[in-house]
A and B are shown apart, each in its own frame.
Chain A
Amino acid sequence: MSKLTAADFAPHSNEHHCHALSRPSLSYWQDAWIRLKSNKRALASGCLIIGLLIFTLLGPLLWSVNSSEQDLDQLSTPPGSARSALIIPDYEPWAGPTTTVTELELAGSATTQSVRLQWTSLPEANGHRIYRNLYPVGEEKAYGIPMAEFFDNNTLYFEDRLNLSPGIYYYSVVALGNNRRPTTEAATIRVDVLRATTVDEAIAQGLVEEGEEIAVGDTVNTALHPLGTDYLGRDMLARLMEGARVSLFIGIFAPLLYVLMGVVYGSIAGFMGGKVDQLMMRFADFVVALPFLLFMILFKISFGIGPGESGIFPMLMAMVVLLWPATARLVRGQIMQIREQGYVEASKLLGAKSSYLILRHMLPNTLGVVLVTLTFEIPRAIFTEAFLSFIGMGVAPPTPSWGSMSNEGIKTMLNTPHELIFPALLISITVLAFNLLGDGLRDALDARMRNTE
């Protein structure tokens, strides 16, 4: 402890200020913005949403594949599959084998154009039946799909041209007895089917550059599908982009409209008060009581969908007509609460007119609540659209939406999961992003509504 001198005890002058007393003050919106920025999850979600919008709006400019075009060479191909195709001569029907064999063999190369098999007669066979399977036959003798039957002992060859996709197949030849029923004699062969196409097809599909010459034996790359194709051979990426447009359009516009409607309705009811308010709220209560989904479906049917229409508009209409009351009630509650607040009374005492009160006091204070509601209604709308599409009550094919794509994808979930994963993932991510953003907005804008996290 140092010694204290007399100088220490000299009094301060009048203009002396000891130390700064306060930090700079912030406006409500500045404070909210700072709070929002520091919420990492909300920020990430915001960036994600912007990314999604870019994907939807600008994506098609970068990836301009037609979403309805079918690539019949690649049905249900997962992303990243091999794309190379062998150029082979045009198809000519097979007249039969030119040599004899001692067992079940391939005749020629196995391509997606045709697979030709020949075999020698199995012991005690009065005929043969040919099966094809995607999986090994194994102990249980699961031969797969029967492809053809021959009831004489002379037809010892078979050409398969049915739905050939590149991959591994297991062909089996089973001997038929006198009674034309299969015996236990069988032979199996594993065949690796290569993707192949002819010169004309390659040119027709635009796989060949201008002026480039191709010949039999060359390999070309079939069309690139970065995210694979669906069961009709349509490019997933293109469909997802267009689906994004449909899903996001409904998901953003419907809530925008019905929240706006709710704000107008609720403000009037809240501001007028009394009997008008009672009446208006009664009506809103009735609309709320209608079982939403059932009425959505009813609406869709009664508005009808002509062939070729996508069904987006009726869905939009139905959502707007059925979903506005929740926001209306919220806004009305807010307005009524604000009306009772001291600062409104004080403002009135200072001579403020109704329009000033509404514009300067009531609306800005309601804006926070409305913004948060909007951000939460968007994922709800996206879910609803997905749900309706899932049960077949959504947009009509071929217009893609993430919901209808999921619906189609579920059917082949076990074999080709990518058809389900991509749209479902996109739905989940979008919904997640909006939910987190909504949380962040709520924490930032209103202390009372804060999730106190």
Chain B
Amino acid sequence: MMWFIGKRLVQGLITVWFIATATFFAMHNVPGDPLLNDRATTAIIRANLEAKYGLDKPVTTQYFIYLNNIAHGDFGISFAQENREVNDIIREHFPVSAILGILAVVIAAVGGILWGSLTALYRNRLPDYIIMFLVILGISVPSFVVAALSQLGIVTINSLLGRTFLPVAGWGTISHMLVPALVLGLTTMAYLTRLMRSSMLEIVNSDFVRTAKSKGVPPARIFARHQLRNAVLPVITVLGPSIAAITTGGFVVEIVFAIPGLGRFFVEAVQQLDYTVIMGTTVFYGAFLVFMVILVDVIYGFIDPRVRMN
């Protein structure tokens, strides 16, 4: 097991290196001087930058300075927000996005497994039809529409109840987190429901479930020990990349609900062409996602013994 984890970690590091490299060369393709533009006009910043990135040196040297900086966890200084370190920005705003993301993933996973199992067990009966209809809606309506509509919904509920039952935007308390996390997790939940459903349907008709029935095992136990454990495997595989989708989808939710998360700042940085923030956030997000996928793989290894042993 340790060997398995170790191998994956090494692979992860190589991937992060690749991401950092790709980011560097992508940014260097921007016409003009990427790290110097109209925005960073003060002499102080200019001096700082030249020292840090060796902008007068050849590209390869810059590249190694860049890598070195990253290895020390230094992503540089933001342009748009003068003299504010990118690290600070990440440190301050990432936890917000992380909480939102984790909440969304939990909602999506629990919901997906639950609804998917239900539709499989009640196949072609009413619960199945209702849930699948909602699922199809869930994968068809764009997330920003759902976000906007849910805000509308909150406003309506608030006015009906005559008080602020749920906050419409902002961040801070649990009630601020609920609706955004739900909206964020919705598309993934719909997708996971479908996946769980087809996985479950396969398992429900599988030979080993038939054997369990022939042993007289009661349905509840069959569901928990035989069906669920096996049907959940594909869902877990998908969970890793889903986290990626949720993290990036968080942009929209953060913007619509005015949540001070890293995604929103990333979008602002993009719109303002704040290059250091863009680069730093990209590498950071990349590393985060790689780590998440490894984590999911390890969990999968715990559940499915065949993966461990190979």
Residues of A within 8 A of B (CB): 285-286, 289-295, 297-299, 301-304, 379, 383, 386-387, 390-393, 403, 406-407, 410, 413-414, 420, 424, 427-429, 431-432, 435-436, 451-453
Q: Does B227 contact A (CB under 8 A)?
A: no
Contacts of B255 in A (CB 8 A): 391
B26 touches A431 (CB 8 A): no
**Are B244 and A428 in touch, CB under 8 angstroms?**
no
User: Is the beta-carbon distance between A387 and B286 smaller than 8 angstroms?
Assistant: no
Closest residue on chain A to residue B21 by CB atoms: A286
Selected from A295, A303, A386, A387, the residue in CB contact (under 8 A) with B282 is A295
CB-nearest residue of chain B to A298: B26
Question: Is B136 touching A295 in the complex (CB atoms < 8 A)?
Answer: no
* Interface check B188, CB cutoff 8 A: no
- Nearest neighbor of A289 in chain B, beta-carbon distance: B15
B78 lies within 8 A of chain A by Cβ: no
- Which label, helix, strand, loop or mixed, suits the secondary structure of the B interface? helix
Give the complex CA separation of A336 and B134 in angstroms.
37
Instruction: Report which of B26, B198, B251, B286 forms a contact with A289, defined as CB distance below 8 A.
Output: B286
Interface positions of B from 21 to 46, Cβ below 8 Å from A? 22-23, 26-27, 29-31
Cα distance, A406 to B77, chains bound together (Å): 34
Cβ contact within 8 Å between A428 and B26: no
A-B Cβ contacts below 8 A, count: 114
> CA–CA, A285 to B241, complex, Å?
13
CB–CB B286/A290 < 8 A: yes
Contact of A301 among B144, B152, B197, B278 (CB under 8 A): B278
Known: A293-B248, A424-B142, A451-B197. 17 other contacts (CB 8 A): A289-B15, A290-B19, A291-B19, A291-B289, A292-B244, A295-B282, A299-B26, A301-B278, A302-B30, A391-B255, A391-B267, A393-B267, A406-B144, A414-B152, A427-B142, A428-B142, A432-B136
22 A–B pairs (Cβ distance < 8 Å), ordered by A:
A285-B15, A286-B15, A289-B19, A290-B22, A291-B19, A291-B247, A292-B248, A294-B281, A295-B23, A301-B30, A302-B30, A304-B30, A390-B142, A390-B252, A391-B251, A391-B255, A391-B270, A406-B144, A410-B256, A424-B141, A427-B145, A451-B197
The 4 closest A-B CB pairs, nearest first, are: A432-B140, A293-B248, A302-B29, A289-B15
Closest chain B residue, CB of each to CB of A430: B140
CB distance A295 to B26 under 8 Å? yes
Minimum Cβ distance to chain B for residue A422 (Å): 12
Expressed in whole angstroms, the Cα–Cα distance for A435 and B132 within the complex equals 13
Q: Which residues of B contact A391 (CB under 8 A)?
A: 251-252, 255, 267, 270
The binding surface of chain A is classed by DSSP as helix
B92-124 CB mask vs A (1 if < 8 Å, else 0) is 000000000000000000000000000000001
Contact at B22–A452, with CB atoms within 8 Å?
no
Contact: B148 with A420, CB < 8 Å? yes
Closest partner residue, chain A, to B29 (CB atom): A302
A285 to B293, CA, bound (A): 13
Instruction: Say how far A243's CB is from chain B's closest CB, in angstroms.
Output: 14
CB–CB B267/A302 < 8 A: no
Question: Whose C-beta in chain A lies nearest to the C-beta of B285?
Answer: A291
CA distance A89 to B76 in the complex (A): 65
Cβ–Cβ contact B144 & A387, under 8 A: yes
* In contact, B142 and A452 (Cβ under 8 angstroms): no
Q: A393-B270, A431-B139 are in contact. Are A291 and B201 (CB under 8 A)?
A: no
By the criterion CB–CB under 8 Å, are B27 and A298 in contact? yes
Contact digits for B201-240, partner A, Cβ 8 Å, 1 yes 0 no = 1100100000000000000000000000000000000000
Bound CA–CA A372/B275 (angstroms)? 39
- Min CB–CB distance A401 → chain B (angstroms): 12
Nearest B residue to A41 via CB reads B136
Across the interface, which residues of A come within 8 angstroms of B4, CB to CB?
none
Cβ of B184 within 8 Å of any chain A Cβ, yes or no, is no
A392's partner among B31, B266, B271 (CB-CB below 8 A) is B271
Q: Contact mask B261-289 → A, CB, 8 Å, 1/0? A: 00000110011010000100110011001
Q: Which residues of A lie under 8 Å from residue B273 when comparing CB positions?
A: 301
Bound complex: CA A83 to CA B252 (Å): 37
The residue from A286, A303, A407, A435 contacting B139, defined by CB atoms under 8 A apart:
A435
Q: How far is the CA of A190 from the CA of B105 in the complex (A)?
A: 53
Q: In the assembled complex, which residues on chain B have CB atoms less than 8 Å from the CB atom of A429?
A: 140
Cα separation A452 to B231 with both chains bound (whole Å) = 14
What separation, in Å, do the CA atoms of A432 and B134 have in the docked complex? 12
Separation in Å of the B107 CB from the closest CB of chain A?
20
| A294 contacts B145, C-beta separation under 8 Å | no
Asked if B165 lies at the interface with its beta carbon under 8 angstroms from chain A, I say no
Decide if A410 touches B136 in the complex (CB within 8 Å).
no
Q: Does B302 lie at the interface of the complex (its beta carbon under 8 Å from any beta carbon of A)?
A: no
C-alpha spacing A432/B140, complex, angstroms: 5
